[in-house]
Structure 1
Amino acid sequence: MQKYLDITKIYCDTEGEPFSYVLLDNRQGVEAGRGNYTISTGKTQATIPEEPFSSIQSLCSKADSLLEEGTRESTIHAFRAYAEALDILPEPTNSWHAGGWILSRMGECYFRVGSFEQAQDLYADLMWYPGAIGNPWIHLRKGQINFELGEMERAGDELIRAYMGGGKDIFALEDPKYYEYLKTVAQGLE
């Protein structure tokens, strides 16, 4: 059975703050204005009401357990639970930290069962959620998906982003072929 990166592992930005994808919280992540997105600040941020947030937490906890079982069947069930949680999230879902958190897990399900084209579409949508751009874990998966689809230039770009944000350690539990490919693209890696 393939070992994967711990779904709950926290990667932090240069200021030591965790990326939004690791925060299943009820805070608003961004405020949208005419196609532009800015990070919400201050204590006046909107929050998801206690209910449905407790239902979202419960579904995601169940899904995390299923995903960790590591079988194809449990991964499919995990995807369904995450999708149900996303359906409960108030619209627009891309304004909530929780939305990015859930969508990143759904993409992980697609990746683990080898549905790379669906995963690619989902990760493209994920880039509109708070905390996705610059997140090394998300860039790692995007690079691996592009690699599997034969889109090598895009794979190299994404794998470099993952390396820049997470270092060599982010590749530790991954198939060595991804890091080996990265070494052909980026000079000076060991």
Structure 2
Amino acid sequence: MMKSNDEIGTSEYKKINELCARGDALAESGNFDEAVYEYNKALYLIPDPKNHWKASTWIFVAIADACFLGGYMVSAREALEYAMTCQDAIGNAFVHLRYGQVLFDIGDKDLSASELMRAYMAGGVEIFTSEDPRYLEFLRARANL
């Protein structure tokens, strides 16, 4: 049974948001290791099972994004695989984009093409505009866009 964020206590939810905001600021400044540390502290405050809470989706995606940007592809993949078991991850263009990119970078081209196509279908070509063009080029080589 999935649970909404409003079922988490107010003080815990506030602390989760504060930790994630710190993580976001650290990630934006390129401090990816420290960002992941802050996101993990926020994740610790989510009750088990983690994937039953909406907040877990965006925390796992934030962890994956920081890992991706920091070059930690295995950790990014693990975070994204778990995020995909959380609410609202499947069908989210950014989640599919980042998962496809991670899979591409670790060499899983078939699954990467599938995830990048999901990103394209959910977000159009625009989802790729601020990303390295090699991902869209790869998708174009695999699919008739």
User: What band does the TM-score fall into relative to the shorter chain?
Assistant: over 0.9
2:61: which partner in 1?
104
Can you list the C-alpha shifts for 1:92-141, whole angstroms capped at 9, x where unaligned? 22111111111100000110011111211111111110001111101101
Q: C-alpha root-mean-square deviation of aligned residues, in Å?
A: 1.6
More helix by share: 2
Comparing both structures, which one devotes a greater share of its residues to strand? 1
AA partner of residue 10 (structure 2): E
Using the size of structure 2 for normalisation, the TM-score is: 0.94
Task: Give structure 1 stretches of 5+ with no counterpart.
Answer: 1-30, 33-39
- In the TM superposition, residue 47 of structure 1 has moved relative to its aligned partner by 1.1
Tell me what 2:8 maps to.
48
How far apart are the structure 2 equivalents of 1:101 and 1:56? 11
How many angstroms apart in 2 are the aligned matches of 1:152 and 1:93? 29
- Give how far 1:60 is off: 0.9
Give the match for residue 59 of structure 1: 19
Which has the greater radius of gyration? 1
Count how many residue pairs are aligned between Structure 1 and Structure 2.
145
Match of 2:109 in 1: 152
Provide, for residues 55-99 of structure 1, a one-character-per-residue CA deviation record: whole Å limited to 9, x for no partner. Answer: 111111111111111x2xx11111100000000112222111111
In structure 2, runs of 5+ residues without a counterpart are none
Q: Runs of at least 4 residues of structure 1 off by over 3 A?
A: none
Residue 79, structure 1, aligned to residue 36, structure 2: yes
Distance 1:61 1:46 in 2: 18
Tell me how far apart the structure 1 counterparts of residues 65 and 119 of structure 2 sit (CA, whole Å). 15
Higher normalized contact order (CA 8 Å, seq sep 6+, divided by chain length): 1
